[in-house]
A and B are shown apart, each in its own frame.
Chain A
Amino acid sequence: MKLGIFYSDLRGNHDMLFRLKGEKIGVFLVGNGIYHATIKEKGEPSPILQKKEIDYYVLSEDLSTRGFSTDEVDSDIKVITYSDLTDLIMNDYDKLAWL
């Protein structure tokens, strides 16, 4: 199973995220979830970014509405548009979850 997980909040259930399994996992940071891609607390990146086998994406529109530019995004995270997101969910991930 190729699982696409939407993360739309800064304070979320990180344990749930790490309990989800799949042959391929992608995390889409949307809404307030984009803060995981841009802010560091106590100098550390977000705890949800520590899984090397996960592909991380952040929605460009939700970044810019919150005042962030793409070069403020953690380098391990791919900045995508709604069009990219549509292609990813329709082609690369067959199951979707919203946390």
Chain B
Amino acid sequence: MGTLTIGVFSSLIGSMNLDFAVKLAETAADKGHNVNLWLSGNATTAAKKGQKEYKDYSYLIKKISGLQKKGVQVAACEACSEARGIHAGEDIIEGITSIGMDWYVAKAAKSDRVLHIGVE
């Protein structure tokens, strides 16, 4: 088995790229791969607590906590989060690490595959 690191910039609502990244991470984890998921830019909106679930909106809180239970490491860019008023400790979903980009670079450097989704 290998290690896959996925980095995502896309918004939680309005783009399906984050939904895609979460499903790919879930599938890879189910197949026994090590998976790291890095949320930065507008993707940090997925790390915020208190999201309300509406039928026709992307709601990924349960999916992301499901990933964590499968051993996927999920981190959110601290600067991108803070810039969006999403403060470490108060606003970020438990289990998601709020940390600098060096986490992402280090994970990517040690991964077999890296997929960076840099668009909306």
Taking CB atoms, residues of chain A closer than 8 Å to B114 are 96
CB proximity of B3 to chain A, nearest CB, Å:
9
Q: Which of B16, B27, B116, B118 contacts A85 (CB 8 A)?
A: B27
Among the stretches B17-25, B54-62, B66-74, B93-101, the one at the interface with A is B17-25
Residue among B4, B27, B114, B116 with the highest chain A CB neighbour number at 10 A: B27
Question: Are B115 and A83 in contact, CB atoms less than 8 angstroms apart?
Answer: no
Total A-B pairs in contact (CB under 8 Å)?
A: 49
Say what secondary structure dominates the interface of chain A: helix
Q: Which of A62, A82, A87, A96 contacts B115 (CB 8 A)?
A: A96
Measured in the bound complex, the distance between the Cα atoms of B27 and A86 in whole Å is 7
Say what secondary structure dominates the interface of chain B: mixed
On chain A, the number of residues with a Cβ less than 8 Å from chain B's Cβ atoms is 18
CB proximity of A95 to chain B, nearest CB, Å:
8
Question: Are B117 and A82 in contact, CB atoms less than 8 angstroms apart?
Answer: no
Question: Are A8 and B24 in contact, CB atoms less than 8 angstroms apart?
Answer: no
CB proximity of B37 to chain A, nearest CB, Å:
14
Taking CB atoms, residues of chain A closer than 8 Å to B24 are 82, 85-86
Question: Are B16 and A86 in contact, CB atoms less than 8 angstroms apart?
Answer: no
Q: A65 — nearest CB in chain B belongs to which residue?
A: B16
Task: Return 18 A-B CB contacts under 8 Å, by A number.
Answer: A6-B117, A8-B20, A8-B119, A30-B20, A31-B20, A61-B23, A62-B20, A82-B23, A85-B24, A85-B27, A89-B113, A89-B115, A90-B2, A90-B28, A90-B113, A94-B113, A96-B114, A98-B116
Given contacts A83-B27, A96-B115, A98-B117, 7 further A-B contacts (CB under 8 A): A8-B16, A62-B20, A85-B27, A86-B27, A89-B115, A90-B2, A90-B31
